[in-house]
Amino acid sequence: MARSASNNKVADALRHLEVADVRLAAIIKSVGACEIKMRKDPFQSLVETIIYQQLAGNAADAIYRRFVKIYGRFPPPGQLLATTHHKLRAAGLSRRKIEYLKGLSSCVSDGKLKLTLLPKLTDEQVIEQLMQVKGIGRWTAEMFMIFCLGRQDVLPVGDLGLRKAMQRTYSIESPVAGKNARHRASMEALPQHCHMVHVEVPGKIQGNRIITLFRR
């Protein structure tokens, strides 16, 4: 079950961005209201993010629905671990993603990854804990912090869609790599609106994946 981030905080962030940057102000006006929906269940959030990795939105949606249909509801780690590769492959999951999902389930089941402790950790500690699991990199950890932990100052600068959006918005020849940025008054709203710039460009099929990730 998803829950929404505070509308007041999103509104404050948007007002800050509108004042701080004319180009972002134009994007915000064009896109309109946005909402971040968060996941209550940390295990489900991680499983979902792994399934969506490197897939267009429609394809990922279909695979995710077939995955859940195997069980009739979202499975706990032990049940996922016990599921045969054949069943998971029939749902459309690649062998590598099955390996990642089972590895995650194993880490959660044996206590190597204590999901209940993550909200108490700093961003870097959360990333360090999650990256112990094969298949979880910094991007997946950042998605988890945004959509499950509800951290409003995370800007996933390694996200391809966000970088392309910034490249287009600011006429940058190539996206510049950098460390995770922080600006506590505005980071909650920035990813959605910058991704929308990318999504709205005709012919950019990959935008489906981006909009799925940032506005579900």
Catalytic (active-site) positions: 159
User: Which element (helix H / strand E) includes 57?
Assistant: helix 57-71
38 — phi, psi (to 5°)? Answer: -110, 155
Measured distance CA(49)–CA(144) in Å, rounded: 8
- C-beta separation of 155 from 182 below 8 A: yes
Query: What would the two tokens of residue 155 be?
Result: 């800007």
170 — phi, psi (to 5°)? Answer: -105, 15
Sheet strands (E) in 108-190 = none
Dihedral angle over CA of 122, 128, 131, 132, nearest 10: -130
What's the burial of 15, exposed, middle or buried (CB within 10 Å: 0-12/13-18/19+)? middle
Residue-level length of the chain: 216
